[in-house]
Structure 1
Amino acid sequence: MALRAKMAQHLNGCSVACKVSWGDLQALCRRAKVVCKELEVTKNNFNDYEVEYITNYRKKNGKELFLVKWKGYHDSENTWEPRKNLKCPKLLKQFWRDVDTALQKQKKPRHPAELDHKTAAYVVQKARHRQRLSCWEAHLNKTCRQEGRIFVQNEVDMDGPPRDFTYINDYRVGEGVELGTTAAGCRCEDCFAHPVKGCCPGSSGHRPAYNDRSQVRVRPGLPIYECNARCGCGPDCPNRVVQRGIRYDLCIFKTDNGRGWGVRTLERICKNAFVMEYVGEIITTEEAEKRGEAYDRQGATYLFDLDYVDDVFTVDAAHYGNISHFVNHSCNPNLQVYNVFIDNLDERLPRIAFFATRSIRAGEELTFDYKMQTDPVDAESTKMDMSLAALETPSKKRIRVECKCGYESCRKYLFSCGQ
């Protein structure tokens, strides 16, 4: 009894996330005739049923019938319903898109009187696949700390959420890596209009990186110093841009030309605006060398060297990362890399931020150059020439990875043997 009491005391206040969705809980309550105020289930809506997805179709005596999978009910309880009973135009539209896709793959005529077994099976498989992606989307938005939402879309194949990948918001510190402490902050009353001794950038010997619209104005290759946790300014300070996180709605989508997953923006992004950080696990170059050899054999890698001053650490976003994990390469990218320093001023451990190189339309894919170089216009920018060879392992034994960016002046290969 004493042990139970002790365990209960330790568990006091603990909670476990429910694995059943809100809609499924509502359906279960209605089915069991249980009133639940929190779930908005009352005696008046016990007999309300929600269509989860449509699984089949047939036309009999000129009457269209749809086989419906009801939310909260087993597949064995699916029922055939006439169109007039279905108040789900989006699901009906999606059902017919899936049917058309299946018929096109089989080279069969459209508008059949009934679906063959293969087509019906594809429709069900696609509906369940879409549900998995929807659950992953919900998990991403629950996990990420950002203003913009993340959407997920795959209308190309049946690939679901990537295995062995954990979404993180900040660097994950690996073995042998220690983050420094925050230096003294600024004492400006207005960091933009009246910076004291140049604010945080000035104390590091640099000028402010942003204009009054939060757009980067220093040339690529120069570092960015933002206000930190010890500064007297608040969260709305104009010198706090990267640390506010992603502010745009973005979509992880499956590309249709063999480039895997990609990321597109769902909102217009202005030129020089901050878009996202490259986040992952910080590891030593020795560990990166070991992992790089394995990644090379797979023909893909997520290693980003942090060699602003010394080639000591690398960011590995293969298994731990944020949405930047899914951003593809382009020989004509719309994102540019900058090294950013905020709370940690150790020049060996900058934060990697992506800013828009031009105005980016809503619906356009976001890309950066995995072998990006900066023009050596001064001593500072030459420090970053090699650090922007993103996603390239420290190993000199390269394999040839074909570039599929589609740009007219494409370099054809991301990496070359002996490079």
Structure 2
Amino acid sequence: MEGNYIDKTRVLDIKPLRTLRPIFPSGNQAPPFVCAPPFGPFPAGFSPFYPFGSSQVNEQTPHLSQAQNPPQRQPQIPSQAQHQPQLPPQAHHQPHLPPQHQHQPQNLSEHSLATPLRPLRSSNGDIEPVESTLKRKTPKKRQLSTVNFESGISVAERDNGNRELVTSVLMRFDALRRRLAQLEDAEDAVNGIIKRPDLKAGSTCMSRGVRTNTKKRPGLVPGVEIGDIFFFRFEMCLVGLHSPSMAGIDYLVIKGGDAEEEPIATSIVSSAYTEIDRVNPDVLIYTGQGGHADKDKEASDQKLERGNLALEKSLHRNSAVRVIRGLKEATHRVKIYVYDGIYEIKEAWIEKGKSGRDTFKYKLVRAPNQPPAFATWTEIQSWKTGKSQRRGLILPDLTSGVESVAVSLVNEVDSENGPPYFTYSTTVKYSMSFQLTQPSSGCGCSCGNKCKPGNLECPCIRKNGGEFPYTGNDILVSRKAMVYECSPSCPCLTCKSKVTQMGVKLRLEVFKTVDRGWGLRSWDPIRAGAFICVYAGEARDKSKVQQTMANDDFTFDTTRVYTPFKWNYEAGLADEEASEEVSEEPELPLPLIISAKNIGNVARFMNHSCSPNVFWQPVSYENNGQLYLHVAFFAVSHIPPMTELTYDYGVARPSGAQNGNPMYGKKRCFCGTQYCRGSFG
């Protein structure tokens, strides 16, 4: 330790937490950071990343101890106007707690949603209400002092992040995870071993300093926005939203009123979904931790310790808790975690669980004036199951069955009944002048019935450098100058290299925006690197359509200048040579202009943004003996449901016909992002 810097990369040999009595660190001692080795070895099954505690407990304590104890909560009169579900009868058992821990369960119809939260402290120590902090989204300027050169993140940024840094950390983690998944897919599976590239990538990022918000805190986390989604619990660890990789309750230790140390909860992860959640998504009944039966032991009563004790102390202090909802989605193989914002703990009690043992129950109510998150998910589920109709619905499927998944047409803004007529198509219509290579005999695969990475007899694998461009769950690993897919005639029945040929798999929606015409979004959560759609339309000769392009709002032009960005994995984090990094700049064999004005698909409705969440990737594959080029769209990062999908339209290159005027053909940009260029096209 040098000064105030704590080495959080140390690996300590400790016993599992379940065998130890809860011990809270003193105010002068920070708990150690414990981490698995970056790349294992992992035993049979897998060894999860151990929960880690606060690295700055002694720094948090002075701030929190200065806050006066909140006044005793006054009894609230139930409101007859609210129709919220009642607690089940067994939820009203009197808790077997000491007198200072006992609370009478309140009716769920109480007027609790309007109760303001206790003011929270900001990162500079000032007290500010939750309502004001929820609206602050502008990223802070990056501090360049004391930079960790290996990770590019300063010590100050590791303690307190911002939106730009949180996004960068998550992108770097997922890029490394995709690369490790690609390498593992190339190896033969070993029986009895569960491969977890997310654990390996997370451990590497932890040990290399690719993380932020290491200073544990209650309330809002700088740079993490309500509604953000995570596909791995390690992602929440890296950005400081929820530290434990397995436990559902995260907490820190502060000084109490009598100068004694006590824990308070900072965040919880809830994977339960009950009828109460469906009826009122702003109310959560949370079950405490512990008491589960082991192989050779019977179930036991839950104890008022660790996370349970932290929730009880937070109830007395009226301390806000972050809530993350764990959800199962039919479109994904893994659980998805949704950050649902700040909740208040209203009451606690004990009831008998399924095993007949005592379990702690906590009622949490979401703070008002927060953006919708979990409520949006519950509403979408009611649309999918037909329990409620989408408001503003014009057409249930504007593709008329052309796509395998329906695409809704919705207008909640005005009375317009839809966009101008166009012919829906899923492919690009080429003329002979756009033939990219000489005729060939198709895919030419000679790998039998199983395309494998490293099989250079397969021309598709050979063109991609000996590797599949996608992971086993159809996620693009890296941006490339060109991605080569197997043709539809490939004899391999389990070929993993036909992702963009399989059509739209997401439940998309074309909707009317306030100031940008029609837009596109998804009912489903979208994973970083996931395929969204191709740009369908008519391939045009740029020399023949130059004069009409300015009046065509549905043109994709590969010759425009696009803002470069880093998306691929870092060779250093993957322990590879820098020379092995793949170029991300497209290299097209000839200029390609696609017009979707008369013929097109859902891609024609994607609007421009200077900070897009979608990028385009050139993809080619043979069809009917000809090699053609396609433009495919993939997600830059995880995209929550009902978030507008946007990509960068680029800027036209000045030419002699334009007299060098850089504003020729440009349109005003309404993306509203922090880094808006003001125009595009």
Q: What's the TM-score once normalised by structure 2's chain length? A: 0.35
What letter matches 1:287 in structure 2? K
> How many residues matched?
257
- For residues 283 and 393 of structure 1, what CA distance do their matches in structure 2 show? 19
Could you tell me whether the CA contact under 8 Å between 2:537 and 2:594 is conserved in 1? yes
- Give the corresponding residue for 2:511: 253
Aligned equivalents of 1:197, 1:366: Cα separation in 2: 37
Residue 500 of structure 2 corresponds to 242
Give the letter aligned to residue 490 of structure 2.
C
Deviation at 1:174, TM superposition (A): 4.6
Deviations 1:68-119 (A, max 9, x none): xxxxxxxxxxxxxxxxxxxxxxxxxxxxxxxxxxxxxxxxxxxxxxxxxxxx
What letter matches 1:156 in structure 2?
V
Distance between the aligned counterparts of 1:394 and 1:301, measured in 2?
A: 24
Give the equivalent residue in structure 1 for 2:490: 231
Are 1:321 and 2:600 counterparts?
A: yes
The residue that corresponds to 2:327 in the other structure is none
Task: Name whichever of 242-251 and 163-172 sits farther off.
Answer: 163-172
> Once the 2 structures are TM-superposed, how far is the Cα of residue 304 of structure 1 from its aligned partner?
2.3
| Per-residue deviation, residues 112-163 of structure 1 (Å, max 9, x unmatched) | xxxxxxxxxxxxxxxxxx68x32xx445132x233x2201100111222322
Q: 2: CA distance between counterparts of 1:392 and 1:250?
A: 36
Post-superposition offset of 1:392 = 11
Q: Does 2:430 correspond to 1:151?
A: no
Equivalent residue for 1:408? 674
In the other structure, the counterpart of 2:120 is none
SS of aligned partner of 2:548? helix
CA contact (8 A) 2:608 2:671 kept: yes
Tell me: CA distance 1:364–1:332, structure 2 relative to 1, closer, same or farther (3 Å): same
Deviations 1:43-79 (A, max 9, x none): xxxxxxxxxxxxxxxxxxxxxxxxxxxxxxxxxxxxx
Residue pair 1:186, 1:199 contacting (<8 A) in 2 also: yes
- Whether the aligned pair in 2 keeps the contact of 1:288 and 1:314 (CA below 8 Å) is no
Contact 1:331–1:409, Cα closer than 8 Å, also in 2? yes
Label 1:309 to 1:193 Cα distance change in 2 as closer, same or farther (>3 A). Answer: closer
Alignment partner of 1:283 out of 540, 543, 554: 540
Q: Describe the shift of the 1:390–1:250 C-alpha distance in structure 2 as closer, same or farther (beyond 3 A).
A: farther
TM-score (norm 1): 0.55
8 A Cα contact 1:155 1:254, kept in partner: yes
Shift of 1:286: 1.7
Matched, 1:292 2:549: yes
Return the letter of the residue paired with 2:534.
E
**Structure 2 Cα separation of the partners of residues 356 and 267 of structure 1:** 13
Please name the residue that 1:352 is paired with: 631
Alpha carbons 1:191, 1:199 under 8 Å: kept? no
Structure ranking higher in helix proportion = 1
2:456 to 197, 215, 219: 197
Q: How far apart are residue 226 of structure 1 and its match?
A: 1.0
Equivalent residue for 1:210? Answer: 470
* Secondary structure of 1:358's aligned partner: coil
Q: 1:341–1:350: 8 Å Cα contact kept in structure 2?
A: yes
> Is the Cα contact below 8 Å between 1:279 and 1:321 reproduced in 2?
yes
The DSSP-based 3-state class of the residue aligned with 1:290 is coil
Residues 332-411 of structure 1: matches in 2 within 5 Å? 332-344=611-623, 349-371=628-650, 396=658, 398-411=664-677
How far residue 343 of structure 1 moved from its aligned partner, in angstroms, is 1.7
State the identity as a percent. 26
SS in 1 for 2:461: helix
Distance 1:244 1:394 in 2: 42
2:419–2:518 contact (8 Å) kept in structure 1 = no
Q: Which amino acid aligns with 1:284?
A: D
3-state SS of 1:201 partner? helix
How far 1:199 sits from its partner (Å)? 2.8
Shift in alpha-carbon separation, 1:259–1:224, aligned structure 2, 3 A: same
Aligned to 1:305: 558
Deviations 1:310-329 (CA, angstroms, capped at 9, x unpaired): 44441111221000000011
**Counterpart amino acid of residue 498 in structure 2:** R
CA contact (8 A) 2:617 2:631 kept: yes
Preserved contact between residue 292 and residue 393 of structure 1 (Cα < 8 Å):
no
Q: Identify the residue that residue 610 of structure 2 maps to in structure 1.
A: 331
SS of the residue corresponding to residue 232 of structure 1 reads coil
Unpaired runs of at least 5, structure 2 = 1-391, 560-585
Instruction: Please say which of residues 283-292 and 332-341 is displaced more in the overlay.
Output: 283-292
Contact 1:403 1:412 in 2 (8 A): yes
Tell me the SS of whatever aligns to 2:456.
helix
Contact 2:520 2:606 in 1 (8 A): yes
Separation of aligned partners in 2, 1:394 and 1:209:
39
Correspondence 1:121-132 to 2 at 5 A: none
Closer, same or farther in 2 for the Cα pair 1:238/1:160, shift >3 Å? same
Is contact 2:476–2:530 with CA below 8 Å preserved after alignment? yes
**Match of 2:473, as an amino acid?**
R
Displacement after TM superposition at 1:190 (Å)? 5.8
Find the aligned partners of 2:462 and 2:644 in 1 and give their Cα distance.
37
Change beyond 3 A, Cα 1:394–1:410 = farther
1:85 corresponds to: none
SS of alignment partner, residue 342 of structure 1: strand
- Check 1:394–1:278 CA distance in 2 against 1; reply closer, same or farther (3 A cut): farther
Is the CA contact 1:292–1:303 (under 8 Å) kept in the aligned structure 2? no
> 1:152-184, CA deviations, whole angstroms, 9 ceiling, x for partnerless residues?
100111222322421111112358545764534
Give the partner amino acid of 1:186.
C
2:554 and 2:604 in contact (8 A); partners too? no
Query: C-alpha deviations, 1:197-236, integer Å up to 9, x for none?
Result: 1633333263421111211112x243111111332212x4
Question: Secondary structure of 2:469's partner?
Answer: coil
